[in-house]
C-alpha cells in the first residue's frame, strides 16, 4: 500500500543520506502519514495556503520502523504513523506541492 506524508520543504532538505525526520519528530516520537484520501483533508486542515510543502509518496512495505495505524485524536479514522526515522529507501517520490489560487490543494491526486 502507498501512504503519504506532507513534509515542510525545510525539513525535507535536512534529511540525511539514509533517513528523514520532520521537525516535530523529537517531541512527538512519530511521523504523521495519511492515505491518499486522508491527505486531502490534512492538507486543507493544517496546511491551507502554504507554499513550502513536499508530498512524500511512501511504500508502506518498505518502511523498516514500526508503522502503526491509530486514531490518536478521536478523528473517527485511523492514520498511519511511523515510529522512527523514515528510511529514504521507502520514499517512492518527493514532489513539491503548491496550493491552488484559493489556497486549497484540490488538484492533488495520489500517485505511485
Residue 104 included in any domain? no
Residue 111 included in any domain? no
Query: Considering only CA atoms, which of 52, 79, 56, 65 is closest in space to residue 5?
Result: 56
What is the pLDDT, as a whole number, of residue 55?
Answer: 96
pLDDT in tens, 52-72: 999 999 999 999 999 999 998
What's the structural domain count of the chain?
A: 1
Residue 3: pLDDT band with limits 50, 70, 90: very high
Residue 103 included in any domain? no
Residue 25 included in any domain? yes
The residue assigned the cell 513536499 is 54
Rounded distance between C-alpha atoms, residue 20 and residue 4, angstroms: 13
Residue 109 included in any domain? no
CATH of residue 46 = 3.20.170.20
Report, as an integer, the average pLDDT of 1-19: 96
What is the pLDDT, as a whole number, of residue 75?
Answer: 80
Domain extent at residue 78:
2-97
Amino acid at each position: 500500500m502507498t501512504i503519504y506524508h506532507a513534509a515542510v520543504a525545510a525539513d525535507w532538505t535536512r534529511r540525511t543520506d539514509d533517513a528523514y525526520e520532520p521537525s516535530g519528530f523529537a517531541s512527538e516520537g512519530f511521523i504523521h502519514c495519511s492515505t491518499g484520501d486522508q491527505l486531502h483533508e490534512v492538507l486543507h486542515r493544517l496546511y491551507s495556503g502554504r507554499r513550502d510543502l513536499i508530498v512524500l509518496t511512501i511504500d508502506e512495505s518498505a518502511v523498516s520502523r514500526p508503522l502503526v495505524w491509530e486514531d490518536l485524536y478521536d478523528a473517527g479514522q485511523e492514520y498511519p504513523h511511523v515510529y522512527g526515522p523514515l528510511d529514504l529507501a521507502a520514499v517512492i517520490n518527493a514532489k513539491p506541492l503548491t496550493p491552488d489560487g484559493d489556497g486549497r490543494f484540490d488538484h492533488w491526486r495520489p500517485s505511485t
